[in-house]
Amino acid sequence: MTVVAAAGFVLAWSSGFLIAAIGTVEVPATTLLLWRFAPLAVLLVGLVAATGAARGIAPRTLGRQALIGAFAQLGYCAFVYAAIAAGIATGTTALIDAVQPLVVATLVGPLLGLRVRGAQWAGLALG
């Protein structure tokens, strides 16, 4: 089951660039993203409510996590989809997306004074 779930995740995630290229021909990027995220958000909120997974977590913490998730996924995807809708090749956007962790690791030291450990660089090198 774990292998099937992992394969499904890889297929779903990697197809995002292709879906963006096909979908933004017919509808605006924002509409496409709405239909990508809204049904899943409703499903996940229902799942959390049914299982009580958020029990004991402060509302402020949940709000912060929701905001981080919105910036991490919706903000990121909005720019990728808008770029593809503007005519930038999906391969180019995928390459820029793939390089982001390396850019962050390179800039986190000079900008924030944090040190990237050797094991973290090794993890980035492995992909």
Same-domain check for residues 114 and 57:
no
Same-domain check for residues 38 and 95:
no
- How confident is the model at residue 17, as a pLDDT? 84
- Beta-sheet strands, E only, within the chain: none
Closest listed residue to residue 102, CA positions, set 77, 126, 72, 80: 126
- How confident is the model at residue 127, as a pLDDT? 73
Same-domain check for residues 62 and 114:
no
For 117, the domain range is 89-127
Same-domain check for residues 63 and 82:
yes
The number of domains in the chain is 2
Same-domain check for residues 94 and 46:
no
Tens digit of pLDDT per residue, the chain (127 long)?
Answer: 788 888 888 887 778 888 888 888 999 988 988 888 899 889 988 998 999 988 888 999 989 998 998 888 877 888 898 999 999 999 999 899 888 889 999 999 999 999 999 999 999 888 7
pTM of the model: 0.70
Same-domain check for residues 32 and 65:
yes
Q: How far apart are CA 80 and CA 29, in angstroms?
A: 9
Same-domain check for residues 73 and 103:
no
